[in-house]
Amino acid sequence: MHGTYKVPNGKLVGVDLEVDAGGKLSGVSISGDFFLEPAQALGRLNQALEGLPATTPPDALAKRVEGAVLPGDQLIGFGPRDIAIAVRRALGKATTWADHTFELIEDGPREPAMEMALDQVYAEALASGRRGPTLRFWQWASSAVVLGSFQSLSREVDLDAARLYGVTVVRRVSGGGAMFVEPGNTITYSLVVPGSLVDGLSFQESYRFLDAWTVRALRSLGVRAEYQPINDIASPQGKIAGAAQKRLADGTVLHHVTMAYDIDAEKMVQVLRIGQEKLAGKGTPSAQKRVDPVRRQTGLTRDEVVAAFIERFGSDYRLERSAPRPGELAKAEDLVKTKFGTREWTARLP
């Protein structure tokens, strides 16, 4: 069996192995374009994995490899966790982008609560086998503040200002910070993937991994984009986008990204209660200067930017067009009535 893993901003790690009759790893051989000193350390890394059960979880694999690293050993461009991911891929426990065909859904404008509900519906559809992995772009029918799952409503939103500007407040299922969105000014997408695609990655590593194609797409448009831990994409001038994740019980990952195409910064700072401590932590003197919209950097229309993103994803991975199904829309509408459109959900952390 053979598996590979390309370390973000690092090297390629490959593992060849067999599984014996007792379900144990044997004949383990690590290779790649990494740097390793001294050379004999490679034998110790291989030997550390020999005889382990093929069911060994990624953290335990990484710990076993780490235990074989002696003081003075230099692993450059890779590490124990990267070897563990390559092993899991060789065993078929972890998958790569190339193992999947993604369903593309470009949806028209819908109200904010409905968008929150559809995210849950598509994630559950993958978990139950009713859909494959999904990439969904959508548009907002009205302005909104989207709260993270664990944020306080009153501490994050000036409700009087929100009413004044006709801004709806909704709460998503994932964590992270509040996002201010407006029709035409925001690019939002969700990526629903099986847990096998991020097998062996920490939560923070999975953000970089799942956002890498977006960074490439932005760079192809001339934007100086970089991943910024934990969950942002930014340029030297400010934040471009923020990501958030929700993991279902079976490991399915809902990874959604909100990107500023353009922004009414004055309205944003009146509606959001952005504390000075948070601004200072970002090294910026004002909320307006924290955001660097895509329109300013590209001069392209929103539709042109979205089309470039889809083209980038489709050139890198397998992508097939799809559409919302009547049953999915009905389920989402029910979730709006029972969850996402209710005050009990939105104000569950008052």
Domains of the chain: 2-90 (3.30.390.50), 97-346 (3.30.930.10)
| Whole-structure pTM value | 0.90
Q: Is the pLDDT of residue 150 over 60?
A: yes
Write down the mean pLDDT value for the chain: 94
In contact, 48 and 83? CB cutoff 8 Å: no
Q: Which of 31-35, 262-266, 325-329 has the lowest mean pLDDT?
A: 262-266
pLDDT single digits (tens) 38-70: 999 999 999 999 999 999 999 999 999 999 999
Mean pLDDT within 107-114: 96
Percent of the chain at pLDDT > 70 equals: 95
Q: 275 or 14, which is more confident? A: 14
pLDDT of residue 9: 86
3-state secondary structure the chain: CEEEEECCCCCEEEEEEEECCCCEEEEEEEEECCEEECCCHHHHHHHHHCCCECCCCHHHHHHHHHHCCCCCCEEECCCHHHHHHHHHHHCCCCCCHHHCEEEEEEEEEECHHHHHHHHHHHHHHHHCCCCCCEEEEEEECCCEEEECCCCCHHHHECHHHHHHHCCEEEECCCCCCCEEECCCCEEEEEEEECHHHHCCCCHHHHHHHHHHHHHHHHHHCCCCCEEECCCEEEECCEEEEEEEEEECCCCCEEEEEEEECCCCHHHHHHHECCCHHHHHHCCCCCCHHHECCHHHHHCCCHHHHHHHHHHHHHHHCEEEECCCCHHHHHHHHHHHHHHHCCHHHHCCCC
Q: How high is the pLDDT of residue 138?
A: 94
Average pLDDT on 326-333 reads 98
Q: What is the mean pLDDT of residues 133-140?
A: 97
| pLDDT tens track for 214-229 | 999 999 999 999 999 9
pLDDT for 279 beyond 90: no
Please check the confidence at residue 72 and state whether its pLDDT lies above 50.
Answer: yes
Query: Is residue 277 over pLDDT 80?
Result: no
What confidence score (pLDDT) does residue 61 get?
Answer: 97
pLDDT at 290: 63
Angstrom distance (rounded) from CA 192 to CA 273: 30
Q: What confidence score (pLDDT) does residue 289 get?
A: 47
Q: Of 43, 44, 46, whose CA–CA distance to 83 is shortest?
A: 46
Enumerate the β-bridge partners of residue 102: 319
Distances (CA, A) of 18 to 2, 48, 310, 345: 9, 15, 38, 50
- Whether pLDDT at 327 is above 60: yes
Strand-pair category, 232-235 with 168-171 = unpaired
* Tokens, residue 267: 């309205």
Residue 288 has pLDDT above 70, yes or no: no
The pLDDT value given to residue 292? 80
Place 8 in a pLDDT band, splitting at 50, 70 and 90: confident
**What pLDDT score was predicted for residue 222?**
95
The answer, yes or no, to whether residue 342 has pLDDT greater than 70, is: yes
Q: What is the mean pLDDT of residues 78-101?
A: 96
Instruction: Report whether pLDDT(307) > 70.
Output: yes
Give the span between the Cα atoms of 328 and 312, in whole angstroms: 27
> pLDDT (tens digit, 9 = 90+) per residue, 153-201?
999 999 999 999 999 999 999 999 999 999 999 999 999 999 999 999 9
Token pair in block for residue 226: 């970089």
Which of 119, 89, 90 is closest to 196 using CA atoms? 89
For the purposes of burial, counting CB atoms within 10 Å of the CB of 177, is it exposed (0-12), middle (13-18) or buried (19 or more)?
A: middle
Q: 41-49 and 80-90 helices cross at what angle (nearest 10)?
A: 50
